[in-house]
Amino acid sequence: MTDNYYVLRIIVITLLLTRIVASSSENHVPSEHILEAIQDSMTRSPATWPDEWKQEYIETIHSVVELHRDVPYYALRLEILSKGFMPYWEGFTKTKDRSLFEVHRAQIRWYVEHLMSTDFPSDDERQKLRDQYKDLWDHAVSSLLAQFPFLDPNAVQIAKQEDLSVCYHKIDAPLMPVYLRPFSEAQVEQIKQCWDDLRYTRVDLLRKLTIDSTGGSH
């Protein structure tokens, strides 16, 4: 009986230790997978940066992630980083200007630090932000069609839906802080006012686009 008890005890301890080691590994492996995913994104959409710049960029992300290993929802935050990185990476121009590179490196450091340290939004907050983006787009579409009644309403609606789809994706994987929490009502009104203030800028832009499309000069 004693021998059987001893063997059983050894088995239980071994299983527990195995679980502990496995759990510990899970806390370390994900960040390596995320860095591989980021590197893959950079490869699939290559930049003109030298290889050493690319490595600096990756190391910047890695150093921030390493500093936040003990935060709640660590794996979920890494998942958001993985999903949100590719559209962010494709959204800005990469040149061989070192000073501009430093700006982009500072931006991604701030974005990742914010993602890894901030409180997560609730489902209600995410839905509110989706509704706010839709409201802003509805305002833009309404004023655009009123200002330029010759525009095809269907084409404008298609552009709206495409952009909203991108916004919703970024809200679901909020790498950038602007997609993490709802705006205040005052901020929503300020955005609408800024759009309205660009009325004459839109006229100049449309004129330029028309000239460029016809190959003419004015």
Mean pLDDT of 99-106: 95
The 10 Å Cβ neighbour count of residue 32 is: 11
Q: In whole angstroms, what is the distance from residue 102 CA to residue 100 CA?
A: 5
Largest CA distance in the chain: 100
Kindly give, in sequence order, each residue whose CB lies less than 8 Å from that of residue 122, ignoring residues fewer than 6 positions away: none
Mean pLDDT of 179-193: 93
Tens-place pLDDT, residues 111-120? 999 999 988 8
Q: Which of 141, 163, 162, 161 is nearest to 152 (CA)?
A: 141
Q: What is the pLDDT of residue 157?
A: 92
Tens-place pLDDT, residues 14-51? 444 444 333 433 444 456 777 888 888 888 888 889 99
At 184, the amino acid letter reads S
Confidence check: pLDDT of 165 > 50: yes
Q: What is the pLDDT of residue 53?
A: 94
Name the DSSP class of 215: T
Confidence check: pLDDT of 63 > 80: yes
Q: What is the pLDDT of residue 11?
A: 46
65, 112 contact by CB (below 8 A)? yes
Mean pLDDT of 83-98: 90
Residue whose token pair is 């993602």 = 115
131, 185 contact by CB (below 8 A)? no
Q: What is the pLDDT of residue 89?
A: 92
Confidence check: pLDDT of 158 > 50: yes
Name the DSSP class of 122: P
Distances (CA, A) of 148 to 2, 26, 132, 211, 214: 90, 56, 24, 17, 19
Three-class HEC string of 24-37:
HHHHHHHHHHHHHH
Q: In whole angstroms, what is the distance from residue 126 CA to residue 145 CA?
A: 29
Q: How many residues does the chain have?
A: 218
The 10 Å Cβ neighbour count of residue 89 is: 19
Confidence of residue 98 (pLDDT cuts 50, 70, 90): very high
Confidence of residue 215 (pLDDT cuts 50, 70, 90): low
Confidence check: pLDDT of 90 > 60: yes
Mean pLDDT of 171-193: 92
Q: In whole angstroms, what is the distance from residue 129 CA to residue 125 CA?
A: 6
Q: Which of 66, 67, 43 is nearest to 55 (CA)?
A: 43
Q: What is the pLDDT of residue 18?
A: 42
Higher pLDDT among residues 120 and 132, named by residue: 132
Kindly give, in sequence order, each residue whose CB lies less than 8 Å from that of residue 91, ignoring residues fewer than 6 positions away: none
Confidence check: pLDDT of 213 > 90: no
Confidence check: pLDDT of 214 > 80: no
